[in-house]
Amino acid sequence: MRVGVLTGGGDCPGLNAVIRAIVRKGVQEYGYEFTGFRDGWHGPLEGDTVPLDIPAVRGILPRGGTILGSSRTNPLKAENGVRRVKENLAKYEVDALVAIGGEDTLGVATALSDEYGVPCVGVPKTIDNDLAATDYTFGFDTAVNIATEAIDRLHTTAESHMRVLVVEVMGRHAGWIALHSGLAGGANAILIPEQRFDLDQVCAWVESRFKIRYAPIVVVAEGAMPKDGDMVLKDQTLDSFGHVRLSGVGEWLAKEIERRTGKEARTTVLGHVQRGGTPSAFDRWLATRFGLHAIEAVRDQDWGKMVALRGTEIVRVPLRDATTQLKTVDPRLYTEAGVFFG
Ligand code: F6P
């Protein structure tokens, strides 16, 4: 049995831990061989491979990024994409594929598996934690820790200068990072894509914070939108899955707050810092367990499935369940956090 492994979409801490667990268990317990596909779906599409064996995965557990590389290539949009993927799997004698990715990468795995008979197993990753069917994705915990540390640091400098500091965190469609880091860091306002925000309300929170002689910290997810208006974008370029490049709402928000309240407001955009570096212990644990269970699913030839966390158990769910709907922040959780706003 030869198993192909790929990592697609935006990278996140913990990808290497998954790869390591898959290879270690696959080689040691099942006697499998592996082929690494480079740069997400680009690998099987173009036949771009890299050797993947136990020496190749030595020492990678704490390393961020992915030894396989990543991309947002969509083979379903490429000319003869499915045929080329199938031909390359045959050429490299790959019997099954493990795709590690988010909504887009796993969406491709779902189609290849359900519609074109390619034996695929999925592993959920994204710092955004917005994949349905799993309680958590790995990468999220690390991102939240990074954002929380940043908020802690920003509090002290905000206090020294009595400024408003706006922190823009990642989160395209879901505000999980903003909500968790905002709560953990004691933000005075948390703005998420799921709930359009009222600028007057945000300014009122900012002013009430100054009244008690504290400097406000506003955490905003990059996909958050004002009540009257649209998403703030840097540019309109689309990737091959049709996503625009986000970031810009933080800058816009600081300007508006300054204009309306007369208080100095600055922005820190955390951006890719949230995706880089070493994974947290929780993410290493989760990613490792996902890898162990994914290769078990391959052994059981349980195609079209994704490994998922439910409580403390790793279970298998249909890939389709994970990719048809996003897991967004429950309004009750957001309301719960409201006690700390202002
Ligand atoms: O989907 C994960 C994510 O980190 C989003 O939060 C963010 O919008 C996007 O990726 C950024 O992608 P890129 O790395 O292509 O800028």
Q: Is the CB of 4 under 6 A from ligand 1?
A: no
Strand partners, 2: 33
- Atom nearest to 130 CA in ligand 1: 1
Q: pLDDT digit string (tens) for 326-335?
A: 999 999 999 9
Query: What is the edge-to-edge ordering of all strands in the sheet holding 265-269?
Result: 189-191, 217-221, 164-169, 265-269
- For residue range 106-119, what is the model confidence (pLDDT) as tens digits? 999 999 999 999 99
Which residue puts its alpha carbon closest to atom 15 of ligand 1? 10
Q: What is the mean pLDDT of residues 285-306?
A: 98
- The first and second tokens of residue 285, run together, are 């644990």
Tell me the pairing of strands 2-7 and 96-101: parallel
**What's the pLDDT at 236?**
64
Distance 170 CA to ligand 1 centre (A): 7
Q: Which of 43, 22, 28, 32 is nearest to 2 (CA)?
A: 32
**Is 126 close to ligand 1, i.e. is its CB under 6 Å away?**
yes
Atom of ligand 1 nearest to the CA of 245: 16
Q: What is the pTM for the complete model shown?
A: 0.94
Ligand 1 binding pocket includes 8 (Cβ within 6 Å): no
Q: Which atom of ligand 1 is nearest to the CA of 126?
A: 2
- Residue bearing the bigger pLDDT, 324 or 33: 33
Give the total residue count for the chain.
342
Active site residue 300: no
Q: What is the pLDDT of residues 255-284, one digit of tens each?
A: 999 999 999 999 999 999 999 999 999 999
pLDDT exceeds 70 at position 80: yes
| Residue 42 pLDDT | 98
Q: What is the pLDDT of residue 242?
A: 73
Atom of ligand 1 nearest to the CA of 223: 8
User: Does the C-beta of 125 come closer than 6 Å to ligand 1?
Assistant: no
pLDDT of 243 = 75
The values of phi and psi at residue 52, to 5°, are: -135, 105
The one catalytic residue in 11, 104, 128, 130 is 128
Measured in angstroms, how far is the CA atom of residue 342 from the centroid of ligand 1?
Answer: 29
- Ligand 1 atom 10 nearest Cα: 10
